[in-house]
Chain A
Amino acid sequence: KQEVTQIPAALSVPEGENLVLNCSFTDSAIYNLQWFRQDPGKGLTSLLLIQSSQREQTSGRLNASLDKSSGRSTLYIAASQPGDSATYLCAVIANNDMRFGAGTRLTVKP
């Protein structure tokens, strides 16, 4: 059974810092990995989707990498802003079976 772990569970940084969120998974037989953000009381917003054949995806200040063989993904956020404060979730997808990590709660202090 696929298990997805996100470290750290919570992170607090001052505005302007670059930061890395980590996601690991136990079964490398995945189709893709997707990163989301969730604001309190809201649904999930898709940030980046990495197909299993890709190694990274970039969108603005966000960069996600995927090392399928070692079961790891990272989400890099450059020049963090208070508006980036949210919970960040990674999900691995294998044959329409989606497994989510418990998330990293990020606080960016002004």
Chain B
Amino acid sequence: GAGVSQSPSNKVTEKGKDVELRCDPISGHTALYWYRQSLGQGLEFLIYFQGNSAPDKSGLPSDRFSAERTGGSVSTLTIQRTQQEDSAVYLCASSLMSANYNEQFFGPGTRLTVL
């Protein structure tokens, strides 16, 4: 596609429910990144994928968070047993090979509200 897309754009859920957030990177981009932006907070790096592999998962806030990427393309971020503090905008970015050397291009984000 022309850019990074994310779905849904907005998600409202009840505390304790599981949610899945989806990211479609730019076609041909091998690196994919997930971030969280909470109200009044800066951008928090969560996890990155090189192909289908996530070399470092230590940025995930808790074991309720997981992410996967299949076929070197689409990625899903899953939050189990959501809590109110999970409310944030979740942003996805991709880059051609690695953000070490290439620009990151961001999607519009998914705004998650946990009631």
- B103 part of interface (Cβ distance < 8 Å): yes
- B43 part of interface (Cβ distance < 8 Å): yes
Interface residues of chain B: helix, strand, loop or mixed (majority): loop
| A98:B106 contact, CB within 8 angstroms | no
Chain B residues with Cβ below 8 Å from A62 are: none
Chain A residues with Cβ below 8 Å from B43 are: 89, 91, 98, 100
Of B41, B55, B103, B106, the residue contacting A43 (CB under 8 A) is B106
Q: How far is the CA of A11 from the CA of B99 in the complex (A)?
A: 29
- B72 part of interface (Cβ distance < 8 Å): no
Q: How far is the CA of A38 from the CA of B43 in the complex (A)?
A: 11
Interface residues of chain A: helix, strand, loop or mixed (majority): strand
Of B4, B41, B98, B103, the residue contacting A96 (CB under 8 A) is B98
Of B42, B98, B102, B103, the residue contacting A100 (CB under 8 A) is B42
- Besides the known contacts A36-B106, A43-B91, 16 further A-B residue pairs in the complex with CB atoms under 8 A apart: A32-B100, A34-B103, A42-B108, A42-B109, A43-B107, A45-B106, A46-B106, A49-B102, A49-B103, A91-B104, A93-B99, A96-B56, A96-B99, A97-B45, A97-B56, A100-B42
Chain B positions near chain A (C-beta within 8 angstroms): 4, 31, 33, 35, 41-43, 45, 48, 50, 55-56, 91, 93, 98-109
